[in-house]
Amino acid sequence: MKLYELLKKELVLADIKSENKEDVINEMIDLFKEDARVDDIEKVRECVLERERIMSTGVGKGFAIPHGKTNSIREILAAFGKTKRKIKYESLDGNPVHLVFLLVGKDNLVSTHIKLLSRISRMMNKDEFRNQLIEAETNEEIIELFKKEEEHYFDV
């Protein structure tokens, strides 16, 4: 499994509209409102926001990775969003966020969930990759950047 395979055109926001952490998370979760893989969108929202209350998923370098696990989905969900504006996110480094990768896993797929989170973190640690994502203008371009970057990684 590769991250770019989880991202579909309709699950990428080339310009996040929200300006604060909770609104951004809700905007991204709302991308799954009509998704047949989701049994209960509010349980998805609850698991991600609950994880966020434990500790900010704004990991630094302008990037956040809100995530959670729930059995109210049928398979792993992923969405990506970006903006050139500054999102107030209570990040660990105190800086605003521009890139957000949402990952929702199933309770019984913990190992896969952790491996995907690790992969996202490794990819986002690359300054050049983050800059390319910020400069990308279309959903297709964003997905292609993930695909190209993931050529260097094994399947999860």
Q: Where are the domains of the chain?
A: 3-150
Per-residue pLDDT for the chain (156 aa), expressed as one digit of tens each?
788 888 899 999 999 999 899 999 999 999 999 999 999 999 999 999 999 999 999 999 999 999 999 999 999 999 999 998 899 999 989 999 999 999 999 887 778 878 888 888 899 999 999 999 999 999 999 999 999 998 876 665
Residue 57 and residue 95: Cα distance in Å, rounded? 12
Q: Which CATH superfamily is domain 3-150 in?
A: Mannitol-specific EII; Chain A (3.40.930.10)
DSSP class per residue in 15-57: S----BHHHHHHHHHGGGTT-TTBS-HHHHHHHHHHHHHHS--
C-alpha span between 69 and 48 (Å, rounded): 8
Q: Whole-structure pTM over 0.85, yes or no?
A: yes
